[in-house]
């Protein structure tokens, strides 16, 4: 949110409006958006207020009911994550806070448990050349091809990198199933 419009600018906007100047001209003159000009004029007409209106600041964006419902569901179902709870609440209440907001709620309420750390599985690396090969496939590359990389684990040497066309005509319009039918 930007800085509030200075009071002297607000006064001039209202004076210009009362003098019959168009909102577009007022906006250009004071380097404001037309919606800001319309908002200032509307608030002055409705509330006779020139000062900045901070009544909406700090207001909670969610109702207490959604907050309580989210925490209650997490309390009942500890294994459920925030995305699932959000989906369920969205179906019932419509607009609900983001998944990340709910995760913060659950953490603050101590309803989450840290994930178990998986033990690191150490395996012996190859002890000699050609003791173990690593084969990795790269598919659907922008060049409409696939390729394999075959690397010796011990030396790190690339043994092969064969390239395979993704489609028979390499145009990217057909599929493998269609090519087999031809």
Inform me whether the pLDDT recorded for 167 exceeds 60. no
Mean pLDDT in the chain? 83
What Rg value do the Cα atoms of the chain yield, rounded? Answer: 32
8 Å CB contact between 99 and 119: no
The rounded distance, in Å, linking the Cα atoms of 32 and 124 is 68
CA-wise closest residue to 152 among 172, 167, 176, 132: 132
**pLDDT for residue 142:** 74
Q: pLDDT, tens digit, for every residue of 44-62? A: 998 888 887 776 665 556 6
Q: What digits encode the pLDDT tens for the residues 81-126?
A: 999 999 999 999 888 899 999 999 999 999 988 777 777 777 777 8
The secondary structure element, H or E, covering residue 148 is strand 145-152
Task: Characterise 127 by phi-psi region: left (phi > 0), alpha (psi -120 to 50), beta (else).
Answer: alpha
* For range 21-31, the mean pLDDT: 93
pLDDT-derived band at 178 (thresholds 50, 70, 90) equals very low
> Which is more confident, 70 or 146?
70
Dist CA 177 CA 64 (whole Å)? 54
Query: What pLDDT is stored for residue 125 in this prediction?
Result: 78
pTM for this predicted structure: 0.37
Give per-residue pLDDT as tens, 138-153: 887 777 778 889 999 8
What confidence score (pLDDT) does residue 174 get?
46
At residue 80, does pLDDT exceed 70?
Answer: yes
């Amino acid at each position: 949110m930007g800085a509030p419009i200075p009071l002297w600018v607000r006064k001039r906007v209202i004076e210009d409006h009362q003098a019959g100047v168009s909102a577009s001209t007022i906006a250009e003159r004071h380097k404001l958006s037309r919606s800001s000009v319309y908002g200032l004029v509307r608030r002055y007409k409705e509330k006779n207020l020139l000062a900045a209106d901070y009544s909406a600041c700090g207001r909670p964006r969610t109702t207490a009911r959604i907050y309580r419902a989210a925490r209650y569901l997490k309390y009942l179902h500890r294994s459920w994550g925030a995305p699932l709870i959000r989906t369920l609440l969205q179906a019932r209440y419509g607009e609900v806070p983001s998944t990340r907001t709910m995760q913060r709620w659950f953490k603050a309420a101590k309803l989450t448990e840290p994930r178990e750390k998986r033990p690191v599985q150490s395996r012996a690396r190859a002890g000699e050349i050609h003791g173990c090969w690593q084969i990795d496939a790269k598919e659907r590359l922008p060049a409409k091809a696939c390729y394999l990389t075959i690397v010796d684990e011990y030396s790190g040497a690339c043994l092969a990198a064969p390239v395979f066309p993704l489609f028979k005509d390499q145009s990217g319009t057909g599929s493998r199933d269609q090519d087999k039918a031809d």
